[in-house]
């Protein structure tokens, strides 16, 4: 079983070494690839010096385009599963094997790592949880997928959806939309319990100021995806 861990990194020089060390220590059986999305700090230099397996994007594509290059890499190199984890150390790679197990057991196409199942670890602020609940309800209404932690960037996709994402993946704030895309295309999305940590260094890509924009953009994207989706056509 070939598994690739995709780590999008934009200005993650404070975290990237810890994230990779964590992976090398806890899941040495998996391959990984760091996607340096044209960081303005020395993320690329760190990758080069430590001889990490990494991709260097020459222009900033944002999280969607960055992660998508990881899926293209996974597709071209014939991986069975691609795991997405954040470059800031929020996601514990120890959970990856459990996520893959659940995905296989449930015969699903994508597993989302959810912090709201066991309700342990970092739970995010009240306002954010309210927003996440709203999006979760919206997604359930639009496509029937029952996912609580819809914004979680910790997820596993199987071979079929590696190929799908390598062709089609939303540009910014792609996580909730990807759940809708997979479900509408006949895929099955399940949730796997994980414990998340609070980010240790650097800044989150979503500042409180952007939260409103985030909610409007993502809600619209989900609705538009549903409205413009051509059923049956691949």
Partner 1 sequence: MGLGLRISLLIAIMIYVVLIFVLLRKKSFTLKYSLLWMFMAVVLLIMVAFPKLVEFLAEVIGVASYINAIFMAFIFFILLLVVTLTSIASKQHREIKTLIQNVALLQKQVDELKNNK
Binding site for partner 1 (CB under 8 A): 54-59, 61, 65, 68-69, 72-73, 76, 171
Q: Taking the complex as a whole, how short is the minimal distance between the CB of residue 191 and partner 1, in angstroms?
A: 29
Nearest CB to partner 1, comparing residues 73 and 173: 73
Nearest to 46 by CA among 61, 34, 58: 34
Query: Cβ contacts of residue 19 below 8 Å, gap of 6+?
Result: 7, 12, 85, 87, 88, 89
Q: Taking the complex as a whole, how short is the minimal distance between the CB of residue 123 and partner 1, in angstroms?
A: 34
Nearest CB to partner 1, comparing residues 65 and 153: 65
Q: Taking the complex as a whole, how short is the minimal distance between the CB of residue 57 and partner 1, in angstroms?
A: 5
Encoded tokens for 65: 């385009």
Q: Taking the complex as a whole, how short is the minimal distance between the CB of residue 168 and partner 1, in angstroms?
A: 10
Sheet holding 54-56, edge to edge: 54-56, 31-36, 3-9, 81-84, 155-158, 110-114, 189-193
Alpha-carbon gap, residue 36 to 45, rounded angstroms: 10
Nearest CB to partner 1, comparing residues 65 and 113: 65
Nearest CB to partner 1, comparing residues 54 and 164: 54
Q: Taking the complex as a whole, how short is the minimal distance between the CB of residue 91 and partner 1, in angstroms?
A: 23
Nearest CB to partner 1, comparing residues 54 and 95: 54
């Amino acid at each position: 079983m070939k598994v690739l861990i995709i780590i999008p990194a934009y200005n993650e020089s404070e975290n990237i070494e810890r994230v990779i060390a964590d992976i090398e220590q806890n899941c040495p059986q998996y391959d990984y690839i760091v996607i340096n999305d044209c960081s303005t700090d020395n993320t690329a230099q760190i990758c080069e010096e430590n001889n990490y397996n990494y991709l260097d994007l020459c222009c900033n594509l944002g999280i969607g385009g960055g992660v998508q290059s990881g899926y293209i890499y996974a597709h071209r190199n014939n991986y069975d599963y691609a795991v997405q984890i954040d470059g800031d150390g929020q996601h514990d790679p120890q959970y990856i094997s459990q996520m893959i197990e659940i995905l296989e057991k449930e015969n699903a196409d994508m597993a989302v790592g959810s912090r709201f199942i066991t309700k342990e670890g970092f739970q995010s602020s009240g306002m954010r949880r309210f927003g996440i609940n709203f999006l979760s309800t919206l997604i359930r209404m639009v496509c029937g997928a029952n996912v609580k932690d819809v914004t979680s960037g910790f997820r596993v996709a199987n071979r079929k959806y590696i190929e799908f994402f390598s062709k089609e993946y939303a540009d910014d704030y792609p996580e909730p939309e990807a759940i809708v895309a997979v479900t509408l295309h006949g895929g099955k999305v399940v949730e796997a319990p994980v414990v998340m940590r609070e980010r240790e260094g650097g800044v989150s890509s979503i500042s409180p100021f952007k939260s409103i924009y985030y909610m409007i953009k993502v809600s619209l994207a989900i609705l538009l995806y549903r409205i413009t989706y051509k059923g049956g056509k691949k």
